[in-house]
Amino acid sequence: MTTVTVSDKGQVVIPISIRKKLGIKPGCKLTFTLDGDVIRAEVQRPKLQTSIEEGFGMLTCSPGKTRRLRDFDIAQAMQSEDDWT
């Protein structure tokens, strides 16, 4: 456990070992919550932008098997499990 001192402005320095382990770098955002007498800090990770092309090929069907939208209805799939074999 590491102890740090709060500055006059309410600032603290996060120990380097913790910053490295969590990937905290200048500009990272942290969310603070209060849980009783405990302060919790969570690193906010940005969601990476992706393009439609990056998703190409993620969904595939077995060769010769046609998939229809109704195949993805769980209630219908449970009624006709023999269609999946």
Tokens of 30: 């942290």
Domain residue ranges of the chain, discontinuous segments joined by +: 12-47
Selected residue with higher pLDDT from 3 and 59: 3
CA 47 – CA 20 distance, rounded (Å): 20
pTM of the model: 0.51
Residue 70's pLDDT band, with cuts at 50, 70 and 90, is: low
Report the 10 Å Cβ neighbour count for 18. Answer: 11
Q: For all residues of the chain together, what is the average pLDDT? A: 82
Report the 10 Å Cβ neighbour count for 22. Answer: 15
Q: What average pLDDT does range 64-78 have in this prediction?
A: 70
Q: Can you tell me whether residue 74 is helix, strand or coil?
A: helix
CA 81 – CA 85 distance, rounded (Å): 7
